[in-house]
Structure 1
Amino acid sequence: MAEPVVADEDHAFGVYIHWPFCLSKCPYCDFNSHVRREPIDEQRFLKAFHTEIGATAERVRDRTVSTIFFGGGTPSLMQPATIAGVLNSIARQWRVAPDVEVTLEANPTSVEATRFRGYRAAGVNRVSLGVQALDDRVLAELGRMHSAREALDAVTIARSVFERYSFDLIYARPNQEPKAWASELKAALGEAGDHLSLYQLTIEAETPFFALHAAGKLRLPDEDTSRALYDTTQEVCAAAGLPAYEISNHARPGGECRHNLVYWRGQEYAGIGPGGHGRLDIDGERHAVATEKRPESWLMRVEGQGHGVVTDDVLTREERSDEFLLMGLRLAEGIDIDRYTKISGRPLDPVRVAMLHEHGLIETTAEGRLRVTLPGFPVLDAVVADLAA
């Protein structure tokens, strides 16, 4: 893991915009994404985005937006004018930092790549491409609608248009071996900018891959091979100057995704759009806010009541501290121990901390941070559960 530079953890505010539509549904995906046969009424959705941004701003008025993220779904199916309209709406409601990071997720197809200059003109300054693999056979198995060549061409266009770009790959795929993955990863690193996201394939409930896996028709690498694939990922990326700063994300120093750091550092963010999630600090309490997931139902809620919120829960101290551990220990920088104590109202259990130290799974830095070690990351869930108990 990298030795990161830790920013001010108390002053950041992110805005997440969810565009819930895709051209097709990938068989491994359990995200809130939907395929529609009829054209999407972008103007109607834009008007609803305006309304929900305004309603959210009324609750958390005095904020400076440091990051904006268009996720999905497939935001690159939106017209650049729609993106510009959302960004203008955000700027009308809140102050926007001069160095705001504005990320848009995009599919690396030739059609969507033609819109990149329009997105840049609208205000997007970082793009994240869902490449997923550099092998046409694997891409077909993953249900992707692009070839490896088309994906690399889109990366080239992104490099020419945006100051910062990233792309995703999926590994620990069926029948994948560490040697082949190392070769594919090295090829990807040759195309990478300052950031790369590398996710192990997981089988999610209610997806086509779940049914195939349950029927024995989809076999993932065994535990030893999965660990070798993970270790290969860490070694190859670190050697290329993109060490992991989070369990699935790699960057050159300064190239980290600032928006995702908002989540992992337990900072404040608004979730706008169908199925958007937020964490808002109101009158000294942290609210966990979520909107209606179904796109058309969300639209009707926003048009009828001025927002799409369906849950708005005040988190208890225990819930906040558990979330802070769960998210913060994903990072190479770990967590500020004093901040944990402030959030939870109690210190971490010294006996449990000592035991995990003894097993080499965590370490404490001279600056008073607790972080997971390289041997600890493959068993991160167990480490977090032990500390939170």
Structure 2
Amino acid sequence: MERWQSAGFGLYVHWPFCQSKCPYCDFNSHVSAKVDHDVWRVAFLAEMRRYAELSPDRVLSSIFFGGGTPSLMDPATVEAIIDDAAQLWKIANNVEITLEANPTSVEIDKFQAFKTAGVNRVSVGVQALNDNDLRRLGRLHDAHEARRAIEVSQQVFDRTSFDLIYARQDQTIGQWRSELVEALKLAGGHLSLYQLTIEPGTVFGARYDRGLLRGLPVEDVAAEMYELTQEICSDAGYNAYEVSNHARSGEESRHNLIYWRGGDYVGVGPGAHGRITKGNGERFATTRPLAPTTWLQDVKTNAKLGLEPISREDQAAEFIMMGLRLSEGIDLTDYRAIAGNDLPQQPISELDDLGLVTVADGRLRATASGRLVLNAVLRKLVAG
């Protein structure tokens, strides 16, 4: 059985445009005064057809519109992509079709049109539930719009999620506790909760380097916020099925599970990545140009798709790095099939002795303590 058959096969569509660039964001997003939606629709469909030739006879279990800000897309483009995907691949009966949305009034008013287009799950980028922190995060919506977007999304779509960022500037543990408790009352089954990270190349990164990003919590406080997050979410029935994602049973993001479980996925749009296994079992990484204009020109000229073979060693390392983010961990038999050998026992034993991993029922899992220092755990395992 190929990985895509057990872990799933998905389609990721990257819409690269935003109304403004958030100061913490290091995603491939761009601000543009004008977008020709007809041109982009044609380009997306053309690229999908080329990738479909490399991945025939697949059952598509998920479509994810990410960005950027996909809720700025023309619903007709979203509908055309979904309709074409159904022609290019077999569609699972329970296919999950997610669109990321910002909670501005303009985008909220498009929710029904996106549902009509075929979207059945929406993920709203709330980030904070108070106006002061939203301003500091560079968001264009206010807290009232955030709450309204959550409410309207749940009225329109069967499945919903929203994001929050914590460990923000000057945020106290008590403030985060209150905000998280409110968020859980508002949530519809899924929450993505991310610690604020300062990435190089972002506005926040430049401010931090100049000593101008004050009020960030020290490491011990950020760790306490993480532990508090796990406790409060668990008590509310939202399991931490992944390091930063919490859900009631059955509400997990099926698309993201494809990534974390090592499935195959097609990535279309500027900067989109993919993983495709061909019929002979060889696996390839796919990449696309980052710049929107370059990507459009690439599609227009039918330029060669970027396909890079992934060695068994790199596949195995990726399987560990992605799979241990999940509470279910990784199946050691699957690891052996990918790597061609067993995962070395010594690093596992050392991490087990430290209480950072466990092995049971043929699965390797990071413990709660291990997830706090997951990067260090991964380095130990991948280095052998």
State TM-score, norm by structure 1.
Answer: 0.96
| Aligned residue in 2 for 1:383 | 377
Task: Please state if 1:111 is matched with 2:106.
Answer: yes
Q: Encode CA deviations 1:121-158: one digit per residue, 9 max, x unaligned.
A: 11000000000000100000000000011110011100
Contact 1:276 1:290 in 2 (8 A): yes
Q: Encode CA deviations 1:165-196: one digit per residue, 9 max, x unaligned.
A: 00000001112111110000001111001100
Q: 1:342 aligns with which of 337, 341, 351?
A: 337
**Alignment of structure 1 residues 342-381 onto 2, 5 Å:** 342-366=337-361, 368-381=362-375
Residue type matched to 2:283 in 1? R
Question: 1:224 deviation in Å?
Answer: 0.7
Question: 1:250 deviation in Å?
Answer: 0.2
Question: 1:82 deviation in Å?
Answer: 1.0
Residue type matched to 2:10 in 1? G
Residue type matched to 1:112 in 2? E
Q: What is the distance in 1 between the residues matched to 2:132 and 2:48? A: 42
Question: 1:116 deviation in Å?
Answer: 0.4
| Aligned residue in 2 for 1:169 | 164
Residue type matched to 1:269 in 2? Y
Q: Encode CA deviations 1:363-384: one digit per residue, 9 max, x unaligned.
A: 1122x11100001101101111
**Alignment of structure 1 residues 217-236 onto 2, 5 Å:** 217-219=212-214, 220-236=216-232
Q: Encode CA deviations 1:228-259: one digit per residue, 9 max, x unaligned.
A: 11011111111111021000000001110000
Contact 1:51 1:306 in 2 (8 A): no
Q: 1:321 aligns with which of 311, 316, 319?
A: 316
Q: What is the distance in 1 between the residues matched to 2:5 and 2:80? A: 30
Contact 1:30 1:206 in 2 (8 A): yes
Contact 2:7 2:261 in 1 (8 A): no
What residue ranges of structure 2 are gaps of 5+ in the alignment? none
Question: 1:47 aligns to what SS in structure 2?
Answer: helix
Q: What is the distance in 2 between the residues matched to 1:199 and 1:238? A: 16
What residue ranges of structure 1 are gaps of 5+ in the alignment? 1-6
- Per mean C-alpha deviation after superposition, the further-off stretch among 124-133 and 170-179 is 170-179
| % identical equivalent positions | 51
Q: What is the distance in 2 between the residues matched to 1:215 and 1:59? A: 47
Q: 2:298 aligns with which of 274, 296, 301?
A: 301
Q: What is the distance in 2 between the residues matched to 1:11 and 1:328? A: 11
Task: Please state if 1:245 is matched with 2:241.
Answer: yes
Residue type matched to 2:153 in 1? A
Q: What is the distance in 1 between the residues matched to 2:90 and 2:223? A: 45
Q: What is the distance in 1 between the residues matched to 2:157 and 2:340? A: 44
Question: 1:349 deviation in Å?
Answer: 1.1
Q: Encode CA deviations 1:2-47: one digit per residue, 9 max, x unaligned.
A: xxxxx9972511000000000000000010000012x211111110
Contact 2:7 2:258 in 1 (8 A): no
| Aligned residue in 2 for 1:21 | 17
Residue type matched to 1:386 in 2? K
Residue type matched to 2:15 in 1? W
**Alignment of structure 1 residues 25-174 onto 2, 5 Å:** 25-37=21-33, 39-174=34-169
| Aligned residue in 2 for 1:291 | 288
Task: Please state if 1:273 is matched with 2:269.
Answer: yes
Residue type matched to 1:298 in 2? W
Q: What is the distance in 2 between the residues matched to 1:317 and 1:153? A: 48
Q: Encode CA deviations 1:269-328: one digit per residue, 9 max, x unaligned.
A: 000111110000013111000011111110111011166x3x321011110000000000
CA RMSD after TM alignment: 1.2
Question: 1:215 deviation in Å?
Answer: 1.2
Residue type matched to 2:262 in 1? G
Q: What is the distance in 2 between the residues matched to 1:296 and 1:78? A: 17
Q: What is the distance in 2 between the residues matched to 1:292 and 1:353? A: 39
Question: 1:376 aligns to what SS in structure 2?
Answer: helix
Contact 2:82 2:118 in 1 (8 A): yes
Residue type matched to 1:233 in 2? T
- Per mean C-alpha deviation after superposition, the further-off stretch among 173-182 and 136-145 is 173-182
Moved over 3 A (4+): none
| Aligned residue in 1 for 2:202 | 207
Contact 1:74 1:106 in 2 (8 A): yes
Contact 1:55 1:306 in 2 (8 A): no
Question: 2:31 aligns to what SS in structure 1?
Answer: coil
Q: What is the distance in 1 between the residues matched to 2:4 and 2:271? A: 29
Contact 2:4 2:263 in 1 (8 A): no
Question: 1:375 aligns to what SS in structure 2?
Answer: helix
Q: What is the distance in 1 between the residues matched to 2:69 and 2:321? A: 27
The count of corresponding residues between Structure 1 and Structure 2 is 379
Residue type matched to 1:141 in 2? R
